[in-house]
Structure 1
Amino acid sequence: MLTRSDVLAADVQIREHIRRTPLVQVYGSPQPLWLKCEFMQHTGSFKARGAFNRVFSAKSRGELDPAVGIVAASGGNAGMANAYAAARAGVPATVFVPLTAPPVKVARLREYGALVRQVGNEYVEAFDAAIEYASQTGAVFCHAYDQLEIAAGAGTLAEEILHDEPEIDTVIVSVGGGGLLAGVLAGIDGRAKVVAVEPRTIPTLNAALTAGKPLDVSVSGIAADSLGARRIGNVAFDTASKIAVSSVLVDDVDIDAARTRLWTEYRIAAEHGAATAYAALTSGAYTPTTGERVCVVICGANTDPATLATVPVETALSRR
């Protein structure tokens, strides 16, 4: 099981490579509220933390062949993060994506120095090809979320939160495959409550907790590009089974509204997956008790700014 010791080891491993992102208090909220601004991390998401931990841990163990480097399967935040970490480690990165991957994401991966290989029409085909590539070449495989080192790296943001504001009672995070959730649960280690938030259309954790095991769910909705795992990762499920977590679901309309509020009120250009955590508060899916000190992790900002809606200034002010 992932533990706080794993997270503390990751913190030592990656601290010189990552940004220590701000913890910003939000005034005018009904309860004491902070935002962990992880969207300011390298490559625009928390994924850089796990990528650095996985890549540099492998390098320190002598597992990283400078001729082949690392391999990943992801056209999104994980792919970009691992390509960036590999470049910083001075090794190549090969990233497998489906043929259907948006050209803008393929171009972004190449900007980070990745050799992009497009295989099949679905993510699972790209994933299988990446596993086969790792087996044939000896490249270090970097999972998007379901590896101890990946999750431990993500958990370092929890250490930062409670170091900067030790009296925080609750940390709210979005969940897709669960790497961030596992890391935060392990990093907090019972020192605060953790609330896991998922789109109602992709309830990987919620369904697994109900069934008592990970299982496939259908994937749809506006946050599917970043929270679109078909099942919760084993690392996350194992950790969530042993450390208490509250699971809540939010609707797409609530995610979109939360994203609009983050932009209108704070000028945070959050992706829908990141806004999912904030939607737990704005929709009422999670209602803090009086005086509860809450932190919401805004975990990524790889989004199209042209899609950010606005509301009239007087409407935004009336919400404060």
Structure 2
Amino acid sequence: MIDRSDVLDAKNRISGYVRRTPLLSAGTAAAPLWLKCEFLQHTGVFKARGAFNRLLAARERGELDPRVGVVAASGGNAGLANAYAAAALGVPATVFVPETAPQVKVERLRGYGAAVRQVGAEYAEAYAAAMEYVAQTGALFCHAYDQPEIAAGAGTLAEEILEDEPDIDTIVVAVGGGGLYAGIAAAAEGRAHVVAVEPVSIPTLHAALAAGHPVDVPVSGIAADSLGARRVGEIAFSMASRVPPTSVLVEDADIIAARAKLWSDYRIPAEYGAAAALAALTSGAYVPRAGERVAVVVCGGNTDPGTLG
């Protein structure tokens, strides 16, 4: 479990290492709307915040061995963020990815200086190999979403939103494993409501709330590359149990349409997972009340520009 004090500690810790991303006014007087442009963050995604918080906090405690550095299991955004943060702090990073990981992602990880180890056909095998590496070397493990420092770091973007526009009523965010949601919920508790948005095909938080505990769900659909966790993290579920969000589901077609709107109207190159948040509004899955002041988190832009139209 985390709370706002953890987010504020993270904000102070990572200051100077991450970008304060802009909050773009995109609505009208009758329907106030802002877009948090986190796709402008280092590595193109919010995860740099949690990565820096995890590494810097570990270094403060003497847990970050500069000889072996950090290890992550992710061929996607989390791997990129941890590789970038490790390079910035001058420590090695080892990232385990499945053998099926796209070569372009592997090369980008190497471009940040990470040692890439390709193991197995699925993420679970890469994860198991990463944990074995941690046991053998003492490297610092950085989870993609379910560690307090990772979630608290992610929540710093909500602090920025509410500093820029203190009267915002609602923050809308896409949910995969739930680290970003958990951090935002902790930062916004008592100040703004959170709408948690998931694809119909990967309802990790929605299913957990229905079951009363985290459960495995099938993973498929257009946003599976960034929202494709099989179950929501314990930290996110704990936050949702303490401060219930509005949980909504959106169809792939709605995500595609919202992504197209972000590009055509604002020239924002959102990845599908990030566009899911706006899809809650454009599809009608979430309908703000009259005058409700809403901020939508556009959490990442690691997408193929050739598909933007």
Q: TM-score, normalised by structure 1?
A: 0.96
SS at match of 1:35: strand
Please state how far the C-alpha of 1:14 moved relative to its aligned partner: 0.3
CA distance in 1: counterparts of 2:238 and 2:136, whole angstroms: 30
CA distance in 1: counterparts of 2:50 and 2:83, whole angstroms: 12
**Equivalences for 1:297-312 in 2 at 5 Å?**
297-309=297-309
**Partner amino acid for 1:81?**
A
Equivalenced residues, count: 309
Q: Deviations over 1:255-297 (max 9, x none)?
A: 0000000000100000000000000000000000000000000
The answer for the alignment partner of 1:271 in structure 2 is: 271
Paired-residue identity, %? 70
The answer for the alignment partner of 1:3 in structure 2 is: 3
CA distance in 2: counterparts of 1:114 and 1:272, whole angstroms: 26
SS at match of 1:134: helix
CA distance in 1: counterparts of 2:158 and 2:295, whole angstroms: 10
CA distance in 1: counterparts of 2:78 and 2:214, whole angstroms: 21
The answer for the alignment partner of 1:235 in structure 2 is: 235
Please state how far the C-alpha of 1:15 moved relative to its aligned partner: 1.1
Q: Deviations over 1:95-118 (max 9, x none)?
A: 000000010110111111110000
CA distance in 2: counterparts of 1:304 and 1:234, whole angstroms: 32
Unaligned segments of structure 2, at least 5 residues:
none
CA distance in 2: counterparts of 1:266 and 1:254, whole angstroms: 18
The answer for the alignment partner of 2:205 in structure 1 is: 205
The answer for the alignment partner of 1:34 in structure 2 is: 34
Matched, 1:172 2:159: no
SS at match of 2:173: strand
Matched, 1:109 2:112: no
**Partner amino acid for 2:190?**
G
The answer for the alignment partner of 1:131 in structure 2 is: 131
> CA RMSD for the aligned pairs?
0.8
Question: Structure 1: which 4+ aligned runs deviate by more than 3 Å?
Answer: 27-30
Matched, 1:226 2:226: yes
Contact 1:190 / 1:243 at 8 angstroms: preserved in 2? no
SS at match of 1:244: coil
Please state how far the C-alpha of 1:28 moved relative to its aligned partner: 4.4
Unaligned segments of structure 1, at least 5 residues:
310-320
Q: Deviations over 1:43-72 (max 9, x none)?
A: 000000000000111111111111100000
CA distance in 1: counterparts of 2:136 and 2:12, whole angstroms: 32
Q: More deviation in 72-81 or 27-36?
A: 27-36
Please state how far the C-alpha of 1:27 moved relative to its aligned partner: 3.7
CA distance in 2: counterparts of 1:184 and 1:27, whole angstroms: 22
**Partner amino acid for 1:17?**
Y
The answer for the alignment partner of 1:13 in structure 2 is: 13
CA distance in 1: counterparts of 2:231 and 2:29, whole angstroms: 34
Matched, 1:161 2:152: no
**Partner amino acid for 2:43?**
T
Please state how far the C-alpha of 1:30 moved relative to its aligned partner: 5.4
